[in-house]
Structure 1
Amino acid sequence: MYSRIVVAVDSSHASNRALDEAIKIAKGSDATLRIIHVLDDLSVYLAANPYAGYYTGELIENLRREGAKILEQARMRATAAELQVETVLYDDLGLPVEERIVTAAQDWPADLIVMGTHGRRGVKRAMLGSSAEAVLRTSPMPVLLVRTP
């Protein structure tokens, strides 16, 4: 069915559920699982805080370390299921998260993207946007969105 599955993780409950689903699918189809974590673009934060520039390097290093921890925890869960697993940390802050996820899946190339979604509706969704929705709209390959209950 699927042979190369990308799952995006960020330590949220939604992404943990997405990882669980990706593991089930990969195990059932003997697929390789690529677990990715994308550092969020800091431009909004930097634009809003004139002093942030002094700490940008330290902040990015902290985000990288945290991202590596998230990936290691996810890798351990997937290897416990006896899957072929790769992890990749994307820290090139030039692309929006959703664009980086789609590009990463295309470049590998994956045949399925799995992501968690918070399932926000109405004003919250309009104000916060949805990376999952943007991936769903722009991805050339199938996308499985896993909602939190």
Structure 2
Amino acid sequence: MEYKNVMVAIDESDSSNLALKEAIRLTKEFNAKLHVLYIVDETIFNKVDEYVEFDLLWSAHREFGEKILNKAQQVLNTSEVDFTTKLSELKPNEGRLAEKIVSEANSLPADILVVGTHGRKGFSRLFLGSVAENVIRIANLPVLLVRELKL
């Protein structure tokens, strides 16, 4: 299989940083183009107290996403790969985060999607679920999960 478009979904986690490194490796191996995605999740504000100023909170969350992409761009600038970055927004009527990630990958279209996983176990996994697990369930393209090794 050959990959021409590699997409990696990132956040602020260590596993996301590892996913970015693995996506860079894949991109170099296949002489592909790398597409880096950060999603600003508006759905987390569904239960925000009415006394909190939504626009201010939203602006801060969006700014945080831009900082994450800028940090990734610094790594990418030294990696010698062709890349793009995208800040996307998940609105409450657009479903869940995993669905948005897969939708962005399909609209590219990406040949493979790279996602970091936090490797939760037990009750935290049961109650919190896993974006990565949901991506695998609904994706119609290859997905590479990158997990942090804990020694």
Report the TM-score when normalising by structure 2. 0.91
Aligned residue for 1:133, secondary structure, equals helix
1:38 maps to which residue? 39
Query: Offset of 1:4 from its aligned partner?
Result: 0.3
- What are the superposed Cα offsets for residues 20-49 of structure 1, whole Å, 9 maximum, x if unpaired? 100001011111000000112335x43263
Task: Output the amino acid matched with 2:67.
Answer: K
Amino-acid identity (%): 38
Taking the aligned partners of 2:42 and 2:99, their CA distance within structure 1 comes to 11
C-alpha RMSD over aligned residues: 1.3
Query: Offset of 1:104 from its aligned partner?
Result: 0.1
Q: How many residues align?
A: 146
Task: Output the amino acid matched with 1:21.
Answer: E
Query: What stretches of structure 1 move > 4 A for 4+ residues in a row?
Result: none
CA gap 1:48/1:58 in 2 versus in 1, 3 angstroms = closer
2:115 maps to which residue? 115
Task: Output the amino acid matched with 1:62.
Answer: A
- What are the superposed Cα offsets for residues 43-96 of structure 1, whole Å, 9 maximum, x if unpaired? 5x43263423xx111111111111111111112212211111101101242332
Preserved contact between residue 14 and residue 147 of structure 1 (Cα < 8 Å): yes
Aligned residue for 2:87, secondary structure, equals strand
- Runs of 5+ in structure 1 lacking a partner? none
1:73 maps to which residue? 71
Preserved contact between residue 98 and residue 131 of structure 1 (Cα < 8 Å): yes
Taking the aligned partners of 2:90 and 2:132, their CA distance within structure 1 comes to 19
2:28 maps to which residue? 27
Task: Output the amino acid matched with 1:104.
Answer: E
